[in-house]
Every structure is written in C-alpha cells, then in structure tokens.
Amino acid sequence: MKTQNTLKLILCFCLVAVSSYMPAVDDTLTPRKAGYLYNFTKYIDWPAAAKQGNFIIGVLGTTPIYGKVLENTKDKKVNNQTIEVKNFATPAQITNCQLLFVPNNFENLSEIVSKLKKSSTLIVTDKVGMVNKGSIINFVWKDNKLQYEVNKVNAEKNDLKVGAQLINTAAAVIE
Amino acid sequence: MKNVSKYIILLLFVLFGISKTIQAQNSAINRAIAYQQAGDLDKAKGAIDSAVINPISANDPYAWYVKGYIYKSIYSKKEAGKRKVDIRKEAMAAFLKSKEIDTKGENNEDNNKNIKYIATTYFNDAVQSIDSTNYQFAIEAYELYRKAIVIPEPATDITKKDIDFNLALASMYTRAYEANRKGKVDFFAKAKEAYGKVITLDANNVSANYNLGILYYNQAVSIINAMDYDLDLVTLNQIQDDCVVLFKQSLPFMEKAYQLDPKRKETLIGLSGIYFSLNEEEKSKEIKLKIDEIDQNK
C-alpha cells in the first residue's frame, strides 16, 4: 500500500491558449464628428424660411462623415423636419442646405462662404483657423479631445441664432 | 509477597488490555486498507475515521496517511471531474496531519507524493474550468494548487504557472466581455485585474501588455461607437472625457508591447489607433508607415 504502486499522477498541464484581441476600428473621430453635427442642429435657431421642407445636411467631398451622418440621422428630425443628407462632390455642386460640413481637405473656404451668403446655412469646418475665415462652427482639438469653437458674428451674418448650451460647451467663442 | 504478586498480575492485565486495544486499532487501520483495496470505499472511510479519532491511534502518522489515501481514492473514484474540492481538502488535511506528527519521517515520501498528486488535480481542474461559467471554481482550484504544490518542496517556483493561469483567465474574461459587453460588465474589471497580476509578475510580458492595452482601447472605441446621438452636448463631452481616460490608460501598455516586440502588426495597429484617437497625428502616421513596411515585406 505504502509503495502506492497503482498510483499514477495525471500530469496534464494543459497549455491554455491565450488569445490576442485585434484592435477595434481605428477611426474614432468620424462617429464623434457625426454625433456633434447632429447635436448642433438642436442648439441653432434657423429663420422661418429654413424651417420649411426637409432639413438638409450637406457633406462636402469624399469623407466617411457622410456615411456616418446618413446612418445616424435615419428617422431623426429637426423641428419636425425630416433630415435629408446630401453629398456634394465639389463646392460648385453645393445647393441650398441648413447645415454644411466642410472637411479639412478643402482649403478655399471663402468660395463656399460667398456661395452660401445669406443662405442661413450653418457652416461647420474641421481645420485650424477656419473659424476666422467664414466658418460658424469649427472642430478643434483641446485636452486630447474633439471640441468646437463658435463664431457668433458669422452665425449672425447667416441669420442664425446660437443657443446658450452650444456657447457654454464650446472650446472658444468669437463674438 | 502476596500483595506484590497481586500488583504484578494486575499490571499484566493492564498491559494485556493495552496491547489488545493497540491490536484492535491496528486492525481498524488494516481493515480500512482491506476495504479500500476491495473497492468498498464507504466502509474504508468508516473504519479509518474511527481509527483516527481513537486516542490510541490519533497520533499515529500512518493512520493519518491511510486516511488521506482513502479520501484521495474516494475523490478519484467518485468526484474526479465534478468540480468539488471537499473530499480532496480532507485528504490533504490528513496528509498534512500525518506529516506534522511524523517525527521520524517514515511516511514523508508517500505523504509528499500524494500531496503533489492532489495539487496536480487542483491544477488540472483550474485549467479545465477557465470559462465564463466555472471561472470561480477555476480560481478556487488554482489557489488550492498554489498552496499545495509548495508543501513537499517549499522552493518550488510557481511564477510561470501564475502567469499562465492569469493570462488564460484574463483572456477568457476579455473574450466573454467582448462578446457580451452589457451582460458581462464585471468581466472588464476582472480582465484588468488578471492582466495586472501578470504584469506585476512579469513586467515584460508582451501578451499581457498588448491585451491590457487593447482592452482599454477597445472599450473606448466601443463607447464611441455605441454613442446615442440624442445625448446632449454636455453628455457627449463627458463621454469623450471618459474615452480620453481609457485611451491614455491604454497607451503605456501598448507602448510597452511595442517596445518588447516592435514588429508585431496587431500592436502597431492598436498603437496607431490610440495615437489617432488622441489626435497625435504624426505619431499615428509614423506607426502606419511601419505597418505598411510589414505588409510590403510579407
């Protein structure tokens, strides 16, 4: 008995596979920008004429923002207006819209601004300095996160009233 | 003279009585062994349980060894693979008791062999129970293994086993969490803790550094992707703050993984994503170039 001649140690030190997980998609900016674009519509007061028909969000150029906005504004409304998302390939193709997003690969904002003069369009840009070149809201990076600056003067030129919360949560406000 | 004779006779009776009692106890131990060998483990258990509580054999290291052996046999025959530890705990306690009172070390080798065997069964149970349902048993079994395996040889280094076990555990938590973020919310913290243990034991463990970095990074990405667009601006801002914290928590682990294995593509993808999310464009581009290099050299 003491010799334990029948005892067998079952040494099955199984190797446990340790998986490596793949990083998720690396574009964490597009959803944030698209989220802000939709949210901006809640804090801007458009003139009565712009509150007729569909609420058109225009996206200029080739950018993943277009698809994301399209996907996330489905079935959503702005003041009872059905949201319609349009993609304009070039500035020349821009037609009447309540909000226009201009991605950072467009240098010549003045062309767009003059085209949309007195059109009640909220121009949203994504490049440093654009807020001084005719943009009303411009995305900026501050404290490692996406924020925005607001140019109230440009908003007033386009007959838009900027709500208090949009001002309060802005990284900078130009008055 | 008559009185002396009386005392001698009395003493002989006492000695005879003691001898009979010892024989009875020895036969109880032998009976237990016989039952065990015949496969009647219930009777073997009854016999040995009586023997070890009897004052005559309560301090017999062999009796306690036999108890451990019978209990171990019960485990092997009736409880192996059933995720139960009670019988093994009793077997282990008996072997330990035997070792404690075995001043001559006569049973030491057998006790140690059996303690190692039980430790091994705990380890196997732990490894086989690493899943989202039985993980608590896996942890319990692994802790029992850790305590047991060093008893025969206190200098045994179990660091590598600790690393492997915690990596496997963390991996399971991550897998379960990634598959069901809402249902397994607590697995995020459990995964962090398990990877953290590995890094404490081995700061240069590539797998733990990479996976912990990815855990934080994927959490931030998931929060952003699940963002409800009807949230107000303050909440939107708060979500970003939370994500920045996660990206920053991810960064040192991913940088460490990169430092340890600069050519691992997954690490480069993760690192590039973190830099991008923190708007460190130059660094992100630099890493993307390295990914392109790897792709070109394939």
**pLDDT digit string (tens) for B210-238?**
999 999 999 999 999 888 888 888 898 99
Give the range among B76-80, B122-126, B129-133 with minimum mean pLDDT: B76-80
B229 vs B16, residue with greater confidence:
B229
So what's the pLDDT on residue A165? 92
Q: Give me the mean pLDDT over the B44-56 stretch.
A: 93
Best probe of the A interface among B240, B267, B281, by most A CBs < 10 A, is: B240
φ/ψ (deg, to 5) at A61: 75, -175
φ/ψ (deg, to 5) at A25: -50, 140
Q: How far apart are CA A119 and CA A159, in angstroms?
A: 8
A132 DSSP assignment: G
Residue A27 in contact with partner chain B when CB distance is under 8 A: yes
CA-based R_g, chain B, Å: 30
Check: CB of residue A123 under 8 Å from CB of residue A102.
Answer: yes
Across the interface, whether the CB atoms of B229 and A76 are under 8 A apart is answered yes
Give A13's contacts in chain B (Cβ within 8 Å).
123-124, 127
How distant is the Cα of A70 from the closest Cα of chain B, in angstroms?
A: 12
Q: How far apart are CA A42 and CA A55, in angstroms?
A: 12
B229 vs B24, residue with greater confidence:
B229
Give alpha helix (H) positions in chain B: 2-38, 41-53, 61-74, 86-101, 108-128, 135-149, 159-179, 186-201, 206-225, 233-260, 265-277, 281-296
H/E stretch holding A31: helix A29-40
Where does the pLDDT of residue A166 fall: very low under 50, low under 70, confident under 90, or very high at 90 and above?
Answer: very high
- Residues B66-80: tens digit of each pLDDT: 999 999 999 999 888
Which residues make beta-bridge pairs with A87? A59
User: Where does residue B185 rank: exposed (0-12), middle (13-18), buried (19+ CB within 10 A)?
Assistant: exposed
Check: CB of residue B25 under 8 Å from CB of residue B47.
Answer: no
Q: How far apart are CA B268 and CA B291, in angstroms?
A: 7
For chain B, the average pLDDT equals 90
So what's the pLDDT on residue A149? 97
Across the interface, whether the CB atoms of A28 and B276 are under 8 A apart is answered yes
Give B222's contacts in chain A (Cβ within 8 Å).
24
Which of B37, B31, B99, B25 lies closest to B64 in space, CA to CA? B99
Residue in the block written with tokens 């081995």: B202
**What is the chain A residue with the closest CA to B280?**
A144
Residue B247 in contact with partner chain A when CB distance is under 8 A: yes
CA-based R_g, chain A, Å: 25
Q: How far is CA A33 from the centre of its chain?
A: 2
Q: Give me the mean pLDDT over the B151-165 stretch.
A: 95
Q: How far apart are CA B262 and CA B115, in angstroms?
A: 44
Would you list the DSSP string of A47-94?
-GGGGSS-EEEEEESS-HHHHHHHHHSTT-EETTEEEEEEEESSGGG-
Q: How far apart are CA B147 and CA B142, in angstroms?
A: 9
φ/ψ (deg, to 5) at A86: -120, 145
Across the interface, whether the CB atoms of B215 and A21 are under 8 A apart is answered yes
- Residues B88-105: tens digit of each pLDDT: 999 999 999 999 999 999
How distant is the Cα of A92 from the closest Cα of chain B, in angstroms?
A: 30
B207 vs A2, A18, A32: nearest CB: A18
H/E stretch holding A156: helix A152-157
Where does the pLDDT of residue A29 fall: very low under 50, low under 70, confident under 90, or very high at 90 and above?
Answer: confident
- The answer to whether residue B280 scores a pLDDT higher than 80 is yes
- Other Cβ atoms within 10 Å of B235 Cβ, number: 13
So what's the pLDDT on residue B15? 47
ipTM: 0.80
The alpha carbon torsion through A116, A118, A122, A126 (nearest 10 deg) reads 40
Across the interface, whether the CB atoms of B269 and A2 are under 8 A apart is answered no
Q: How far apart are CA A65 and CA A124, in angstroms?
A: 12
Across the interface, whether the CB atoms of A4 and B127 are under 8 A apart is answered no
